Amino acid sequence: MKTLIIEDERSLAREIKLFLEKAFYLCDTAYNAVEAKMLMIDNEYDFILLDLGLPDKDGLELLNETKKMCPGASYIILTARGDLEDRIKGLDLGADDYLPKPFSLLELQSRMQAISRRKSGNNDSVMQLGDFSIDLNKRSVCFEEKEIELSRKEFDLLSYMILHKNRPLTRLQLSEHIWGNFSDDDYDSNFIDVHIKNIRKKMSAHAPVDWLQTLRGIGYKIKI
Amino acid sequence: MKLLSKLTLFITLSKLLIVVLFVLLLPSLVGYVSFQYSNYYLQQQKQKVLSEIKHNGIDYYLQGDSAYASYTMLKEEYISILPAENNRVRDTIETSKRVVGEDTLTYRILTHELTGTHKNYILEIGKTTSTIGEYNNLLQRFTLYVLIGLIALSIVVDLIYTNILIRPLTKIVKTKLLNRKFPFKEPLSPIKTSTTDFQILDLSLIDLMEKIHEAFDKEREFTSNASHELMTPISILQSNVENLMMEEDISDEMQDKISAMMRTLNRLKKIVNSLLYISRIENDQFVKSDTVNVHELITEMMEELSDRLETKSIQFTNAVSKNVKIEHVNHDLFFQMLYNLVNNAIRYNKESGSINISDKHLPDNTYQLMIKDTGIGIKEEELATIFDRFKKSGKEKGEGFGLGLSIVKSITSFHGFTIEVSSEYGKGTVFTITVPAYLPV
């Protein structure tokens, strides 16, 4: 997947690039609108991550102009402005998603993956996890054709951890994904434990779930 | 009592008092005046008589008699000239009885000694007191009517003038003080008046309100700008930490530290996010164009929170009437408001406690929502400050930020609702949201 990061904060652009490259995205970075346009002329991108507060041009204007240049690309708006109007305008102009700063890189990747899945149809939505098969589109977990009932939040948690498999995930990162920016720190983190306990209970009735590891004092990890 | 009513009352009463005083004093006043006047009249008559006598000589009147008397037909007045006795009489005016013709009447009498050619005479000029009294009554009645007429006129004039005079003040009270809502957003125009006191009052009020509004605006702008400026560095830091955490082969100890860093960072992020959210609400960046069905909204919210209720075995009742709809609100904000309140109700509840949301319509068409919990309650001294930013009621290991309720407060003010809280420490808390009959669009 080829990704263009348009972000004038160099250190943030660098971190996003570093993170996405580990998840096997190919990344280019542009620090302003002019650079971004040059890169878009020469390359075809699957994803364009667009900061609205660029030094030489308003991000929304750039989006409007470049939507025609890269019709196949999926746009995700990143912004510290966080105006609701910007969000509506951005989505109207054809952006696929909108992430207010500060955002978690895990969340960014999760949104990118959701967009890919939406665009590619049902093709790659089924994953194997130990003896279980998980369909991200149908939101179902099956053990040997038998469906295991998970609550909405439990499924969200499980799929988020599968996406970020082999990475330590803190309770905070998990609760932020489930409850958004207003998640309530320690209080919400405790509920993550409750959810994980339920997932373990429901799934281990069918097969061992030793792939779901607890990291003492930190959080959880799915190891495959 | 309003100033105008007080003034009206005072003006009317004081005028009435004057009328009463005047009516009481009138008889004696009129009596005095007519007394003085009849004395003056007698003096005048005396002068005339003396000049007649001087002209014609006294004998012309005596005609050989020793005395002379003359009176009018009805005996209201008489004149007599009698020989003087030895002792000399000085000029006097007195009231006394005289026999005139066959009648004995009371007269006001002027006595004067005349010096004749051979001997001295006494001149008496008299006027009956009853004629004096007749004028007296007529005068009294007439004066009273005129007075009452004048007083009535002056009351009317006074009231009209007072009304006009006070009108600017009434207007100031109406436009500047009543129905004004903090933070006084609408611009104010000074009231037209030529009374400098009112001008000063009006201008000072406008000035004060503008200052309050400006200070409020500055604070809001600062919060908004500061939060924005903070977002980018926090964003960079968060990405840094997240990348760091994924590094292979870092020790458990390091992992712990990174995780702790992330928690602190998250705390910072949450504060900034909440402040920005509040400042956006206060900046009117949300549109109030939704209509919410309260019952459905609460059901929707309960799904979101059901796992928390289960974990704590809390009994939840949605007793809100099914068909209540509120217009001109922002759906997301309304949801957030109830979510924050119920989330708190769960958080500070006891195991196996309960939460009850009910509603009622008041006679004046306002609508109330009550969120009642059986939680740990709030101490009385803390009730006043729970909606303030960054005030936290000492419990919960100092980790809370107290912004959840500030957000609730901003959302209620934004919509024109009011929120009240009552609580019994150790027993539970009730939050009451009042939705006025007509919401500002």
Q: Where are the beta strands (DSSP E) in B203-353?
A: 290-293, 315-319, 325-329
Best CA proximity match to A80, nearest among A99, A101, A105, A61: A101
- Along the 441 residues of chain B, how does pLDDT read in single tens digits? 888 889 999 999 999 999 899 889 988 888 888 888 889 999 999 999 889 888 888 888 888 788 888 888 888 888 988 888 776 667 888 888 888 878 888 888 999 888 776 778 888 899 888 877 777 788 888 888 998 999 999 999 999 999 999 999 888 888 888 777 766 777 788 888 888 999 999 999 999 988 988 888 888 777 777 777 888 889 999 999 999 988 878 888 888 888 888 888 888 888 888 888 888 888 777 888 899 999 999 999 988 888 889 888 999 999 999 988 998 899 999 999 999 999 889 988 999 999 999 999 998 889 999 999 998 888 888 888 888 877 655 554 444 446 889 999 999 999 999 999 999 998 999 999 999 987 655
Closest Cα in chain B, distance from residue A89 (Å): 14
Residue of A nearest to B402 (CA): A184
Report the pLDDT value the prediction gives residue B441, as an integer from 0 to 100.
52
Report the pLDDT value the prediction gives residue B240, as an integer from 0 to 100.
92
Residue of A nearest to B304 (CA): A153
Asked if B11 and B128 count as a contact pair (C-beta separation under 8 A), the reply is no
CB contact under 8 Å between A168 and B270, yes or no, is: no
Closest Cα in chain A, distance from residue B254 (Å): 11
Report the pLDDT value the prediction gives residue B296, as an integer from 0 to 100.
93
Residue with token string 């990344």? A27
Closest Cα in chain A, distance from residue B395 (Å): 13
Q: What's the ipTM?
A: 0.84
CB contact under 8 Å between A194 and B234, yes or no, is: no
Length of chain B measured in residues: 441
> Which residue ranges form the domains of chain A, and what is each CATH number?
2-120 (3.40.50.2300), 126-222 (1.10.10.10)
Report the pLDDT value the prediction gives residue B403, as an integer from 0 to 100.
83
pLDDT digits over A52-106, tens only? 888 888 888 999 888 887 788 999 999 877 666 777 888 888 899 999 888 899 9
pLDDT digits over A164-184, tens only? 888 889 888 888 888 876 566
Check residue A53 and report its DSSP letter.
Answer: B
DSSP assignment of B184-211:
--S---PPP-S-HHHHHHHHHHHHHHHH
Instruction: Compute the count of residue pairs across chains A and B with CB atoms less than 8 Å apart.
Output: 103
Q: What is the largest CA-CA distance in chain B?
A: 164
> Which residue ranges form the domains of chain B, and what is each CATH number?
3-145 (no CATH), 196-282 (1.10.287.130), 290-435 (3.30.565.10)
Q: What H or E segment, with its residue span, contains residue B114?
A: strand B103-115
Query: Distance between CA B403 and CA B390 in Å, rounded?
Result: 6
CA angle A117, A121, A125 (to 5 degrees): 55
Average pLDDT, chain A: 87
Query: Distance between CA A218 and CA A137 in Å, rounded?
Result: 29
Residue with token string 């069905």? B293
Q: Give the closest of B235, B262, B307 to A194, CB-based.
A: B307
Q: In percent, how much of chain A has pLDDT > 70? A: 94
Report the pLDDT value the prediction gives residue A145, as an integer from 0 to 100.
84
Asked if A143 and A132 count as a contact pair (C-beta separation under 8 A), the reply is yes
The amino acid occupying position B123 is L
Report the pLDDT value the prediction gives residue B156, as an integer from 0 to 100.
93
Beta bridge partners of B115: B120
Report the pLDDT value the prediction gives residue B399, as an integer from 0 to 100.
45
The amino acid occupying position A36 is A
Query: Distance between CA B340 and CA B407 in Å, rounded?
Result: 8
Residue of B nearest to A181 (CA): B270
